Structure 1
Amino acid sequence: MSPDPTPPLATIAAALRYERQRVGISLTELARRAGIAKSTLSQLESGTGNPSVETLWALGVALDVPFSRLVEPPATTVRVIRAGDGPRIRSEHADLTCTLLTAGTAHARRDVYLIALEPGRVRIADPHTPRSVEHLVVGSGRLRCGPEHDQVELGPGDYATFPGDAPHRYEALEPGTFAVLVMEHP
């Protein structure tokens, strides 16, 4: 894989401003709801921050929008993301990288991600929006995932689905693990 490109800061900044104004709340209130510093949110809205997956998920939950709405650039008619390309965002708690492949529409609220993980650290995910569901297919390596109380181990080609609105985790069991994750949002 090529080195990580700069996060899609301009897209994130514009989306945060738009969604915050749509909800009608201040920077201070959004920062409070998301549990982040107001200065961090201010930097993100100005396009100068360096957001983690966890920060963007917290903001999405606070705004009641899917994560993808904060990182997806405007759509084109035909879109191709070559292997190793696309906007990648790293986790601050695990060796995990997410690449949003496609976001849902107003009529089909689902997002598709390619996630790459390495052994050593566990990605613990906070609950997403209520009634969200995760679908996961492993492409290579081995992965332990699912809700805190009901972990499963998956290998290449294995599929699992579980509630996204409860705490859950991802842990690579082999180097070079990657999977396709489909998030459904009500």
Structure 2
Amino acid sequence: MRAERERAGLSLSELARRAGLSKSTLSQLESGRGNPGVETVWSLATVLGVPFSALIDPPQPERALVRAGAGDPTRSDLADYTALVLSHSPPHVRRDLYRIDAEPGAVKVSVAHATGTVEHVVVITGRARAGTRDDPEDLSPGDYLRYPGDVEHLFEALEPGTSAVLVSQQR
């Protein structure tokens, strides 16, 4: 995170202000002592203009296999929702691939990401409501939806055991 902050030419104080975090929280995250929720990481990624995965994953080898149930997902602080980065952007590509697992209850509302971000979602199991906050769609297994990720958007599990594949693409 420090390298991305410095690349963006932001002080610790300025990044904290823009992301709506305290300077001490950001300092802890940069030193590897914090455990941020998905909302905090998205906020920082948006301010820095980088993909979500750039702040949480080391570079990946050319070939990768992620077994079902494997990995260390990032949990939402506000909903029963986890996002596991399956593949993050290689250099000069701005897209991340996630597996989403969610349960009915609180709606996972995401703030607008960087300008030009588009999200693609395919429901695998269960049913979900997803899309922009003012125009969501109800989705069943196999349904695909593309929507702007640079406006407030949501994902809501409508059935227990809902899972989806999400691609976040920055133009």
Q: TM-score by structure 1 length? A: 0.89
Q: What is the letter of the counterpart of residue 157 of structure 1?
A: G
Q: What is the letter of the counterpart of residue 155 of structure 2?
A: Y
Q: Which residue of 2 aligns with 1:4?
A: none
Q: What is the letter of the counterpart of residue 78 of structure 1?
A: R
Whether the 8 Å CA contact 2:128–2:158 is kept in 1: the answer is yes
Percent identity of equivalent pairs: 53
Q: What is the letter of the counterpart of residue 136 of structure 2?
A: Q
Pick one of 35, 59, 62 that aligns with 1:74.
Answer: 59
Q: Which residue of 1 aligns with 2:12?
A: 27
Q: Which residue of 1 aligns with 2:71?
A: 86
CA pair 107-74 structure 1, distance change in 2 beyond 3 A? closer
CA distance in 2, matches of 1:72, 1:110: 13
Q: Which residue of 1 aligns with 2:112?
A: 127
3-state SS of the aligned residue for 2:164?
Answer: strand
Q: What is the letter of the counterpart of residue 17 of structure 2?
A: R
Determine whether 1:172 maps to 2:157. yes
Q: What is the letter of the counterpart of residue 91 of structure 1?
A: S
CA distance in 1, matches of 2:44, 2:134: 26
Q: Which residue of 2 aligns with 1:62?
A: 47
Q: Where in structure 2 are the equivalents of 1:137-176 lying within 5 Å?
A: 137-176=122-161
Q: Deviations over 1:44-93 (max 9, x none)?
A: 11111110000000100111111111112122132111111123100111
CA distance in 2, matches of 1:89, 1:148: 22
Q: TM-score by structure 2 length? A: 0.96
Q: Which residue of 2 aligns with 1:6?
A: none
Number of residue pairs the alignment of both structures matches: 171
Q: Which residue of 2 aligns with 1:103?
A: 88
3-state SS of the aligned residue for 1:128?
Answer: coil
- 5+ residue gaps, structure 1, are 1-15
- 5+ residue gaps, structure 2, are none
Determine whether 1:183 maps to 2:168. yes
CA distance in 2, matches of 1:34, 1:64: 12
Runs of 4+ in 1 over 4 A off after TM superposition: none
Whether the 8 Å CA contact 2:59–2:90 is kept in 1: the answer is no
Pick one of 98, 104, 111 that aligns with 1:113.
Answer: 98
